[in-house]
Amino acid sequence: MSFETTVGAFVDALGDRSAATPSMTHGRMGVPDARRFAVYRNNVAVGLIGALEARYPVSRRIAGDDLFRAMAQMFVGAHRPRSPVMIAYGGEFPEFAADYLTVAAAGRGDGPLIWNRHREERSDAAIQGPHGALRSPGLLRFARNDDDVLGLAHFHHATAGLVEVARLENAWAEAYHARDASTATVGDLAALGPDELPGTRIVFHPAAHVLRFSTPAASNWSLGQTAGRPAALTDGPGEDALVTRPDCDVEVRILPALAYDFALHLRKGATLIEAAGAVNDPAFDFGTHLVGLVESGAVASVIPGHAS
Protein backbone atom coordinates (compact mmCIF):
# COMPACT_ATOMS: atom_id res chain seq x y z
CA MET A 1 0.00 0.00 0.00
CA SER A 2 1.44 3.38 -1.01
CA PHE A 3 2.08 6.11 1.56
CA GLU A 4 -0.68 8.28 0.04
CA THR A 5 -3.18 5.42 0.24
CA THR A 6 -2.20 4.70 3.82
CA VAL A 7 -2.61 8.32 4.88
CA GLY A 8 -5.91 8.60 3.01
CA ALA A 9 -7.34 5.52 4.74
CA PHE A 10 -6.16 6.79 8.10
CA VAL A 11 -7.77 10.21 7.56
CA ASP A 12 -11.04 8.70 6.31
CA ALA A 13 -11.29 6.49 9.38
CA LEU A 14 -10.55 9.42 11.70
CA GLY A 15 -13.56 11.29 10.40
CA ASP A 16 -16.01 8.38 10.33
CA ARG A 17 -16.75 6.82 13.72
CA SER A 18 -18.57 3.95 12.04
CA ALA A 19 -15.54 3.01 9.93
CA ALA A 20 -13.42 0.04 10.88
CA THR A 21 -10.02 0.63 12.41
CA PRO A 22 -7.50 0.93 9.54
CA SER A 23 -5.72 -2.33 8.91
CA MET A 24 -2.29 -0.70 8.93
CA THR A 25 -2.63 0.60 12.53
CA HIS A 26 -1.22 -2.17 14.68
CA GLY A 27 -1.04 -2.31 18.46
CA ARG A 28 1.24 -4.41 20.61
CA MET A 29 -0.44 -7.62 19.47
CA GLY A 30 0.29 -6.87 15.82
CA VAL A 31 -3.37 -6.34 14.90
CA PRO A 32 -5.51 -3.20 14.56
CA ASP A 33 -6.32 -1.77 17.99
CA ALA A 34 -9.72 -0.07 17.99
CA ARG A 35 -9.34 1.37 21.48
CA ARG A 36 -6.04 3.06 20.70
CA PHE A 37 -7.31 4.39 17.38
CA ALA A 38 -10.36 5.80 19.19
CA VAL A 39 -7.96 8.11 21.06
CA TYR A 40 -6.94 9.69 17.75
CA ARG A 41 -10.56 10.02 16.66
CA ASN A 42 -11.48 11.67 19.92
CA ASN A 43 -8.54 14.08 19.80
CA VAL A 44 -9.50 15.20 16.30
CA ALA A 45 -13.15 15.71 17.28
CA VAL A 46 -12.23 17.60 20.46
CA GLY A 47 -9.87 19.85 18.53
CA LEU A 48 -12.46 20.69 15.85
CA ILE A 49 -15.21 21.29 18.42
CA GLY A 50 -12.80 23.56 20.28
CA ALA A 51 -12.22 25.51 17.07
CA LEU A 52 -15.99 26.05 16.74
CA GLU A 53 -16.29 27.13 20.37
CA ALA A 54 -13.53 29.68 19.78
CA ARG A 55 -15.17 30.98 16.60
CA TYR A 56 -18.70 31.20 18.05
CA PRO A 57 -18.37 32.10 21.75
CA VAL A 58 -21.56 34.17 22.01
CA SER A 59 -23.59 31.57 20.13
CA ARG A 60 -22.36 29.00 22.61
CA ARG A 61 -23.45 31.16 25.56
CA ILE A 62 -26.89 31.62 24.01
CA ALA A 63 -27.43 27.94 23.19
CA GLY A 64 -25.80 26.59 26.35
CA ASP A 65 -22.91 24.14 26.39
CA ASP A 66 -24.97 20.99 25.83
CA LEU A 67 -26.91 22.19 22.79
CA PHE A 68 -23.91 23.91 21.22
CA ARG A 69 -21.68 20.86 21.63
CA ALA A 70 -24.38 18.58 20.25
CA MET A 71 -24.57 20.75 17.13
CA ALA A 72 -20.78 21.07 16.96
CA GLN A 73 -20.25 17.32 17.25
CA MET A 74 -22.61 16.64 14.37
CA PHE A 75 -21.07 19.44 12.31
CA VAL A 76 -17.61 17.97 12.83
CA GLY A 77 -18.87 14.61 11.61
CA ALA A 78 -20.31 16.16 8.44
CA HIS A 79 -17.66 18.82 7.65
CA ARG A 80 -14.01 17.94 7.53
CA PRO A 81 -11.41 20.73 7.42
CA ARG A 82 -10.48 21.68 3.87
CA SER A 83 -7.34 23.47 4.97
CA PRO A 84 -4.60 22.78 7.53
CA VAL A 85 -5.15 26.37 8.69
CA MET A 86 -7.73 26.03 11.45
CA ILE A 87 -8.85 29.67 11.27
CA ALA A 88 -10.61 28.67 8.04
CA TYR A 89 -12.72 25.97 9.71
CA GLY A 90 -16.36 26.39 10.62
CA GLY A 91 -17.67 28.99 8.19
CA GLU A 92 -20.65 26.80 7.30
CA PHE A 93 -21.71 26.34 10.92
CA PRO A 94 -24.51 28.99 11.03
CA GLU A 95 -26.36 27.36 8.10
CA PHE A 96 -25.79 23.93 9.61
CA ALA A 97 -27.19 25.08 12.96
CA ALA A 98 -30.27 26.46 11.20
CA ASP A 99 -30.89 23.10 9.51
CA TYR A 100 -30.19 21.21 12.71
CA LEU A 101 -32.66 23.15 14.83
CA THR A 102 -35.30 23.26 12.10
CA VAL A 103 -35.12 19.50 11.67
CA ALA A 104 -35.28 19.04 15.43
CA ALA A 105 -38.44 21.12 15.66
CA ALA A 106 -40.04 19.35 12.69
CA GLY A 107 -39.38 16.00 14.29
CA ARG A 108 -41.24 17.00 17.43
CA GLY A 109 -44.57 17.90 15.85
CA ASP A 110 -46.55 21.02 16.66
CA GLY A 111 -46.55 20.81 20.43
CA PRO A 112 -44.79 23.18 22.78
CA LEU A 113 -41.01 22.82 22.92
CA ILE A 114 -38.47 23.72 25.52
CA TRP A 115 -34.80 24.36 25.12
CA ASN A 116 -33.65 21.60 27.42
CA ARG A 117 -30.07 21.66 28.67
CA HIS A 118 -30.22 18.40 30.60
CA ARG A 119 -28.33 15.49 29.05
CA GLU A 120 -30.45 12.77 30.66
CA GLU A 121 -33.41 13.48 28.36
CA ARG A 122 -31.53 13.32 25.09
CA SER A 123 -32.87 11.38 22.13
CA ASP A 124 -30.95 10.02 19.17
CA ALA A 125 -33.77 9.56 16.67
CA ALA A 126 -32.55 10.03 13.10
CA ILE A 127 -34.35 12.65 10.98
CA GLN A 128 -33.84 13.45 7.30
CA GLY A 129 -32.57 17.02 6.96
CA PRO A 130 -31.83 19.34 4.02
CA HIS A 131 -28.22 18.16 3.92
CA GLY A 132 -28.80 14.47 4.58
CA ALA A 133 -29.61 12.46 7.68
CA LEU A 134 -29.41 14.38 10.92
CA ARG A 135 -30.08 13.30 14.45
CA SER A 136 -32.36 15.27 16.67
CA PRO A 137 -30.30 17.22 19.19
CA GLY A 138 -32.34 15.59 21.92
CA LEU A 139 -32.05 18.84 23.82
CA LEU A 140 -35.47 19.86 22.54
CA ARG A 141 -38.37 17.96 23.99
CA PHE A 142 -42.08 18.26 24.61
CA ALA A 143 -42.73 20.26 27.74
CA ARG A 144 -43.78 18.35 30.83
CA ASN A 145 -44.75 21.50 32.73
CA ASP A 146 -45.21 25.21 32.15
CA ASP A 147 -41.68 26.21 33.12
CA ASP A 148 -39.46 27.53 30.30
CA VAL A 149 -41.97 26.53 27.66
CA LEU A 150 -41.41 27.85 24.15
CA GLY A 151 -44.35 27.82 21.78
CA LEU A 152 -43.44 26.73 18.28
CA ALA A 153 -43.46 30.31 16.96
CA HIS A 154 -41.23 31.46 19.81
CA PHE A 155 -38.94 28.51 19.20
CA HIS A 156 -38.48 29.49 15.57
CA HIS A 157 -37.78 33.07 16.66
CA ALA A 158 -35.17 31.84 19.13
CA THR A 159 -33.64 29.67 16.41
CA ALA A 160 -33.40 32.63 14.05
CA GLY A 161 -31.84 34.75 16.79
CA LEU A 162 -29.17 32.17 17.56
CA VAL A 163 -28.36 31.51 13.90
CA GLU A 164 -28.06 35.19 13.07
CA VAL A 165 -25.69 35.80 15.99
CA ALA A 166 -23.62 32.92 14.60
CA ARG A 167 -23.63 34.59 11.17
CA LEU A 168 -22.34 37.78 12.73
CA GLU A 169 -19.64 35.91 14.65
CA ASN A 170 -18.53 34.22 11.45
CA ALA A 171 -18.29 37.59 9.71
CA TRP A 172 -16.28 38.89 12.68
CA ALA A 173 -13.83 35.99 12.35
CA GLU A 174 -13.51 36.48 8.60
CA ALA A 175 -12.90 40.19 9.10
CA TYR A 176 -10.25 39.50 11.73
CA HIS A 177 -8.31 37.18 9.42
CA ALA A 178 -8.86 39.09 6.16
CA ARG A 179 -5.79 40.27 4.27
CA ASP A 180 -4.36 43.68 4.99
CA ALA A 181 -5.19 46.59 2.72
CA SER A 182 -5.06 50.36 2.87
CA THR A 183 -8.21 52.32 3.69
CA ALA A 184 -9.62 55.34 1.92
CA THR A 185 -10.04 58.63 3.76
CA VAL A 186 -12.53 61.46 3.65
CA GLY A 187 -9.74 63.40 1.94
CA ASP A 188 -10.03 61.03 -1.02
CA LEU A 189 -13.68 62.01 -1.34
CA ALA A 190 -12.87 65.71 -0.98
CA ALA A 191 -10.37 65.42 -3.83
CA LEU A 192 -13.07 64.38 -6.28
CA GLY A 193 -14.13 66.98 -8.79
CA PRO A 194 -17.82 67.77 -9.30
CA ASP A 195 -17.79 66.03 -12.67
CA GLU A 196 -16.08 62.94 -11.25
CA LEU A 197 -18.35 62.37 -8.26
CA PRO A 198 -21.46 60.87 -9.94
CA GLY A 199 -19.50 58.16 -11.76
CA THR A 200 -17.23 57.34 -8.85
CA ARG A 201 -17.07 53.77 -7.59
CA ILE A 202 -15.63 52.45 -4.35
CA VAL A 203 -13.71 49.28 -3.58
CA PHE A 204 -14.57 47.70 -0.24
CA HIS A 205 -11.87 46.65 2.20
CA PRO A 206 -11.32 42.85 2.30
CA ALA A 207 -12.42 42.85 5.95
CA ALA A 208 -15.70 44.68 5.34
CA HIS A 209 -19.00 42.79 5.65
CA VAL A 210 -22.48 44.24 5.24
CA LEU A 211 -25.17 42.10 6.86
CA ARG A 212 -28.96 42.20 7.13
CA PHE A 213 -30.74 40.41 9.98
CA SER A 214 -34.38 39.73 10.77
CA THR A 215 -33.55 39.88 14.51
CA PRO A 216 -31.55 42.34 16.65
CA ALA A 217 -28.47 40.16 16.07
CA ALA A 218 -25.88 42.90 16.54
CA SER A 219 -27.43 43.96 19.85
CA ASN A 220 -27.67 40.34 21.02
CA TRP A 221 -24.04 39.77 20.05
CA SER A 222 -22.99 42.86 21.98
CA LEU A 223 -24.97 41.83 25.06
CA GLY A 224 -23.38 38.38 25.01
CA GLN A 225 -19.75 39.52 25.20
CA THR A 226 -19.19 38.73 28.88
CA ALA A 227 -17.23 35.48 29.04
CA GLY A 228 -18.36 32.87 31.53
CA ARG A 229 -21.97 34.07 31.62
CA PRO A 230 -25.00 32.67 29.80
CA ALA A 231 -26.36 35.01 27.14
CA ALA A 232 -30.02 35.63 26.38
CA LEU A 233 -31.73 36.73 23.19
CA THR A 234 -33.68 39.98 23.22
CA ASP A 235 -36.74 40.80 21.14
CA GLY A 236 -36.84 43.69 18.75
CA PRO A 237 -36.80 44.68 15.09
CA GLY A 238 -34.21 43.35 12.69
CA GLU A 239 -30.88 45.13 12.38
CA ASP A 240 -28.39 45.81 9.60
CA ALA A 241 -24.73 45.66 10.56
CA LEU A 242 -21.37 46.68 9.16
CA VAL A 243 -18.28 44.72 10.19
CA THR A 244 -14.93 46.42 9.59
CA ARG A 245 -11.36 46.22 10.82
CA PRO A 246 -9.91 49.72 11.13
CA ASP A 247 -6.53 49.92 12.87
CA CYS A 248 -6.41 46.08 13.18
CA ASP A 249 -9.43 45.96 15.54
CA VAL A 250 -12.69 44.43 14.33
CA GLU A 251 -15.70 46.68 14.88
CA VAL A 252 -19.41 45.94 14.53
CA ARG A 253 -21.71 48.87 13.82
CA ILE A 254 -25.49 48.87 13.63
CA LEU A 255 -26.36 50.67 10.40
CA PRO A 256 -29.02 53.38 10.20
CA ALA A 257 -32.01 52.99 7.93
CA LEU A 258 -31.21 52.82 4.19
CA ALA A 259 -27.46 52.44 4.75
CA TYR A 260 -27.50 48.70 4.03
CA ASP A 261 -29.20 49.15 0.64
CA PHE A 262 -26.79 51.93 -0.35
CA ALA A 263 -23.74 49.91 0.65
CA LEU A 264 -25.03 46.75 -1.03
CA HIS A 265 -25.47 48.52 -4.37
CA LEU A 266 -21.98 49.98 -4.09
CA ARG A 267 -20.59 46.55 -3.28
CA LYS A 268 -22.18 45.19 -6.44
CA GLY A 269 -20.28 47.78 -8.50
CA ALA A 270 -22.77 50.62 -8.81
CA THR A 271 -21.52 54.17 -9.13
CA LEU A 272 -22.32 56.62 -6.38
CA ILE A 273 -25.16 58.17 -8.37
CA GLU A 274 -26.55 54.73 -9.30
CA ALA A 275 -26.47 53.53 -5.69
CA ALA A 276 -28.13 56.69 -4.41
CA GLY A 277 -30.81 56.46 -7.10
CA ALA A 278 -31.50 52.82 -6.30
CA VAL A 279 -32.30 53.69 -2.68
CA ASN A 280 -34.95 56.10 -3.97
CA ASP A 281 -36.05 57.48 -0.62
CA PRO A 282 -36.42 61.18 0.19
CA ALA A 283 -35.05 60.54 3.69
CA PHE A 284 -31.77 59.25 2.28
CA ASP A 285 -28.82 61.55 3.03
CA PHE A 286 -26.22 60.70 0.39
CA GLY A 287 -23.31 62.61 1.93
CA THR A 288 -23.79 61.32 5.47
CA HIS A 289 -23.97 57.69 4.39
CA LEU A 290 -20.99 57.94 2.04
CA VAL A 291 -18.77 59.65 4.61
CA GLY A 292 -19.89 57.18 7.25
CA LEU A 293 -18.79 54.23 5.10
CA VAL A 294 -15.38 55.77 4.51
CA GLU A 295 -14.84 56.79 8.13
CA SER A 296 -15.73 53.28 9.32
CA GLY A 297 -12.80 51.80 7.41
CA ALA A 298 -15.05 49.83 5.07
CA VAL A 299 -13.61 51.39 1.91
CA ALA A 300 -10.20 50.43 0.54
CA SER A 301 -10.10 52.86 -2.36
CA VAL A 302 -12.12 55.45 -4.25
CA ILE A 303 -12.12 55.19 -8.04
CA PRO A 304 -12.99 58.56 -9.58
CA GLY A 305 -15.52 58.70 -12.37
CA HIS A 306 -14.67 60.19 -15.75
CA ALA A 307 -15.12 63.92 -15.95
CA SER A 308 -17.47 64.90 -18.74
Per-residue pLDDT in tens (0 to 9) along the chain, 308 residues: 677 776 676 776 676 666 777 767 766 666 766 777 777 777 888 999 999 999 999 999 998 888 899 899 999 988 888 888 888 899 999 999 999 888 776 655 444 344 443 333 333 333 333 333 333 333 444 333 344 444 555 667 788 999 999 999 999 999 999 999 999 999 999 999 999 999 999 999 999 999 999 999 999 999 999 888 878 888 899 999 999 998 889 999 999 999 999 999 999 999 999 999 999 899 999 999 999 999 999 999 999 998 65
- Is residue 197 domain-resident? yes
Task: Provide DSSP, 88-144.
Answer: GTTTTHHHHHHHHHHHHHHTTTTS-EEE---GGG----EEEETTEEEE--SSEEE-S
- Is residue 99 domain-resident? no
- Name the burial class of residue 111, with classes exposed (0-12), middle (13-18) and buried (19+) by CB atoms within 10 angstroms of its CB: exposed
The pairing of strands 240-244 and 209-212 is antiparallel
pLDDT number for residue 110: 42
Contact 232, 251 (CB under 8 A): no
pLDDT number for residue 134: 36
Helix (H), strand (E) at residue 209: strand 209-212
- Is residue 198 domain-resident? yes
- Is residue 261 domain-resident? yes
pLDDT number for residue 41: 77
- What is the total count of domains within the chain? 1
- Is residue 304 domain-resident? yes
Q: What range does the domain containing 296 cover?
A: 181-208+245-308
Contacts of 228-231 with CB under 8 Å at 24 or more apart are: 229/61, 230/61, 230/62, 230/64, 231/58, 231/61, 231/62
- Is residue 27 domain-resident? no
* pLDDT tens-digit readout, 261-272: 999 999 999 999
Angle subtended at Cα 224 by Cα 220 and Cα 229, rounded to the nearest 5 degrees? 145
Beta bridge partners of 127: 134
* pLDDT tens-digit readout, 202-235: 999 999 999 999 999 999 999 999 888 878 888 8
